[in-house]
Amino acid sequence: MSNVRLAVIYYSTYGTNHRMAQVAVEAAQTAGAEVRLLKVPETAPAGVVNGQDAWRAQAELTADVPEVTHADMEWANAYLFSAPTRYGVSASQLRAFIDTLGPLWAEGKLANKAVSAMTSAQNAHGGQETTLIGLYTTMIHWGAIIVAPGYTDPVIYAAGGNPYGTSVSATGGPLSEESQAAIRHQARRLVEFAGKIAS
């Protein structure tokens, strides 16, 4: 029985990061972790969301996914974040949630927990690496333990070669087999090291 309690926390406008999170959940559960799939709250006005068919459809599709809370952050001893890149940083919806975590950080409740991150952008050089490094900078402030995939498996090269975390080009379609393999590897690696840290 694994001692890992993993929160897979995502934001997804059109569905790519939601699909990435789902692949990670399945892999982490297979690796023995107790997993919660959670989304960050939408901060865009309802009129904007409803004004775009694809955005509205994604919101409706995931209406039953619970929003992440501070209680979830305390419950978990590992985190996997996934959010799209916006101008080289993570989507503002994820940053807005992170900005609420000051009280937990101040009490040390985010420290010593394994964490990893994933992202997407419209094109291959759309800022994925800076997005991941930016997230990790925040998590270093928490005192969390970064578990990046590195070049620890050939699937990393097949999926584009990003050692910081799985990143995909958001096409609106299904994830490639290579991307799914990289996500599964990253999730398993996170569970493995989270278990070692928690023991």
Q: What is the CATH number of the domain that holds 136?
A: 3.40.50.360
Q: Is the dihedral of CA 145, 98, 73, 27 positive or negative?
A: negative
Give alpha helix (H) positions in the chain.
16-30, 46-50, 53-61, 70-75, 92-98, 102-106, 128-142, 154-158, 177-198
pLDDT-derived band of residue 1, with 50, 70 and 90 as boundaries?
Answer: low
d(CA 80, CA 24): 8
| Portion of the chain with pLDDT greater than 70, in percent | 99
Residue 74: give the domain boundaries. 5-198
d(CA 20, CA 167): 9
Closest CA to 17 of 37, 43, 44, 36: 37
Q: Whole-prediction pTM value?
A: 0.96
pLDDT surpasses 80 at 166: yes
pLDDT surpasses 80 at 8: yes
| Portion of the chain with pLDDT greater than 90, in percent | 90
Quote the DSSP letter at residue 40. P
Could you please report the per-residue DSSP string of 54-105?
HHHHHHHHTTTSPBP-HHHHHH-SEEEEEEEEETTEE-HHHHHHHTT-HHHH
pLDDT-derived band of residue 10, with 50, 70 and 90 as boundaries?
Answer: very high
Quote the DSSP letter at residue 144. -
d(CA 45, CA 29): 34
Residue 159, classed as helix, strand or coil, is coil
Q: How many domains does the chain have?
A: 1
The pLDDT of residue 159 = 86
Closest CA to 23 of 143, 31, 192, 43: 31
Residue 127, classed as helix, strand or coil, is coil
